[in-house]
Homo-oligomer: A and B are copies of this chain.
Amino acid sequence: MTEEIQEISELSAEFNKSIYPIFQCSRMDIVVIGGGAAGMAAASKAKRVNRDANVTVIESGSFVSYAECGIPYFLQGIVKSPNDLLHYPPEEFTQKRGIKVITGRVVTKIDTASLSVLLDNGTAVKFDRLIIATGARPRIPQGIATGVLGIRSLESAIRLKEIIDRSKTITIIGAGVLGVELASTLTEAGKKVKVISKYDRVMPQLDPDIGQILNDYFASRVNVEFSSSPVEIKQDEDQYAIKTTVDDHRSDLVIAAVGIVPNSNIAQDAGIKLDQRGAIITDSHMETSTPGIYAAGDVATVKNIITGEEEMMPLAQIANKAGRVAGSNAAGSEMNFPGAVGSTLVKVFDMEVGFTGLNEKRATASGIEFGKTLIKAKSRANYYPGKEDIYVKILYRNSDKRIIGGQVLGKDGAAWRLNTLATAIFAGFTVEDLFYDDLGYTPPFGPVWDPLIIAGSVSMRE
């Protein structure tokens, strides 16, 4: 840490108490690296908090503020134009919000001595406060150098869509959230999809019991090669030849969906602390180990409310909120990110799938003694049309019966039950609190003993 930064840090304690800085002689320079969800939320909030600040966003691609989570639906064809995925046109930021946006420029270095970032065209941009929101890139499967595409930006999605349009057979490596989502949307788009999973079932985030139910549903719709890893992928005339640990395949396109790697190299080079996954460690201000430098979004950690540990939770809604917190603190108005539980939803064909908090594997790894309840119930009153099976699983700590994780699966109303459960976990509910939770009821939307209430009730008895 340099002297200069230390000084800023000492001032910042005072600074943060007031929305309007009183000691500032010149306009404050706030630089944001990355124009995704976290970056644009940070920039917008910083400018709102401090109208006099110069806020600059530097984005390596040509788009800012686009809906990354919409890409699978653009690839499917449900979303017709990439423009539909832009939350706002660039003018919203540049003209209406007074933010400077530089696109197509990569930040090659963060210089904490001169308080500036260096761009790939050699120019330097000064900052008083810096927000790193560089996101993450797709992980490329081990040992595979070429021939596999990932989804990392709207540009890459536009190119991928062109290839998808002329492909009949698609291999997806990985069956996590993105893998099953892509397999589902591309199958619905009429493609012949094959999934290579290194696990014995899809979506290993779900525990084996409830996960098996999704797995059966998924595997009856998509060809999955389980317990398999790619060994070699070669371009072979118009197709790719894929050699796995299990078999040989051919397809027109190979997409990798085996996780992401945070884009934290420039942060690491600047001496900013990373966790073991390479994510930038932040505190509740979304401030990094270097005072005055903040991080948010897929590149940064947030606190897991249940374990208390800082960890990557690469989820859009967390990126948005953490970005806002980073921007607010950078501009001088204190906000504290309380942490999150990692609530995740995905639509797999007609199935709504969600998980939040810890699963069994993670709870065990965290040394938590826990009980568990898995129930199957109906999504609506038994006599009301449209009811479907719904599965609810909850994990609770034995010591105090506090709920530490939830998983929900079903075709009708499962996603929002997961959100209700996530709210309960975020609030620190015990299984008894969940039983008494005052959910509204009417036959078209649930049975009188809602699956969530049943899960609470059964857990009380254990």
| A residues whose Cβ falls under 8 Å from a Cβ of B | 37, 67, 69-70, 73, 78-79, 84-85, 87, 181, 305, 315-318, 320-321, 337-338, 340-347, 352, 354, 356, 381-385, 413, 415-420, 422-424, 426-429, 433, 435-446, 448-450, 453
Please determine whether B37 and A448 come into contact, CB atoms closer than 8 angstroms: yes
CB-nearest residue of chain B to A324: B457
- CB-nearest residue of chain B relative to A449? B320
A317 and B441 contact, Cβ closer than 8 Å, known pairs A417-B416, A420-B423, A436-B337: yes
A442 and chain B: residue at smallest CB distance = B345
Provided the pairs A84-B383, A383-B85, A416-B413 are in contact, do residues A345 and B427 lie with their beta carbons within 8 angstroms?
no
Q: Which of B87, B352, B418, B453 contacts A317 (CB 8 A)?
A: B453
A186 to B: closest C-beta gap in Å: 15
Assuming the contacts A37-B448, A384-B70, A448-B37, asked whether A440 and B418 have C-beta atoms less than 8 A apart, the reply is: yes
Measured CB to CB, the closest approach of chain B to A422, in angstroms, equals: 6
Of the candidates B67, B433, B438, the one whose C-beta lies within 8 Å of that of A340 is B438
Known contacts A69-B442, A383-B79, A442-B415; A450/B317 CB under 8 A: yes
Kindly list chain B residues whose C-beta atoms are within 8 Å of the C-beta of A37: 448
State the Cβ distance, A225 to closest chain B Cβ, in Å.
Answer: 26
CA distance A383 to B82 in the complex (A): 10
Verify B383–A445 contact, CB threshold 8 A: no
**Complex: how many Å from CA A187 to CA B448?**
25
Indicate if the CB atoms of A445 and B347 lie closer than 8 Å.
yes
CA distance A205 to B131 in the complex (A): 46
Residues of B within 8 A of A453 (CB): 317, 321
Residue of B nearest to A384 (CB): B73
Q: Which residues of B contact A437 (CB under 8 A)?
A: 422-423, 426
Please state if B439 and A423 are interface contacts (CB–CB under 8 Å): yes
Q: Smallest distance from the beta carbon of A398 to chain B beta carbons, Å? A: 20
CA distance A431 to B37 in the complex (A): 22
CA distance A346 to B342 in the complex (A): 31
A417 contacts which chain B residues (CB < 8 A)? 416
Pairwise interchain contact B337-A442, C-beta atoms closer than 8 A: no
> How long is the Cα–Cα vector from A385 to B70 in the complex, in angstroms?
12
Q: Which residues from chain B contact A73 at a C-beta distance below 8 Å?
A: 383-384, 443
Would A67 and B416 count as touching, CB distance under 8 A?
no
Closest 10 CB pairs of A and B: A416-B416, A427-B427, A343-B440, A345-B440, A84-B383, A415-B445, A340-B438, A345-B442, A423-B423, A347-B444
Q: Find out whether the CB atom of A445 lies under 8 angstroms from the CB atom of B352.
A: yes
Q: Could you say which residues of chain B place their CB within 8 Å of the CB of A317?
A: 438-441, 448-450, 453
The chain B residue with its CB closest to the CB of A342 is B438
The residue among A70, A346, A437 with the most chain B CB atoms within 10 A of its own CB is A437
Given A384-B79, A419-B420, residue A436 in contact with residue B338 (CB < 8 A): yes
> In the assembled complex, how far is the CB of residue A449 from the closest CB belonging to chain B, in whole angstroms?
6
15 A-B residue pairs with CB within 8 Å: A37-B448, A67-B381, A70-B443, A305-B438, A340-B438, A341-B438, A343-B441, A345-B442, A345-B445, A347-B444, A356-B438, A416-B416, A420-B423, A422-B437, A423-B424
- Judge whether B356 and A440 touch: CB under 8 Å: yes
- Chain B residues in 8 Å Cβ range of A384: 70, 73, 78-79
Once A427-B429, A440-B422 are accepted as A-B contacts, the answer to whether A448 and B320 lie under 8 Å apart by CB is yes
CA distance A202 to B423 in the complex (A): 31
Q: Does B422 lie within 8 Å of A419, measured CB to CB?
A: no
**Cα A7 to Cα B437 with chains together (Å):** 35
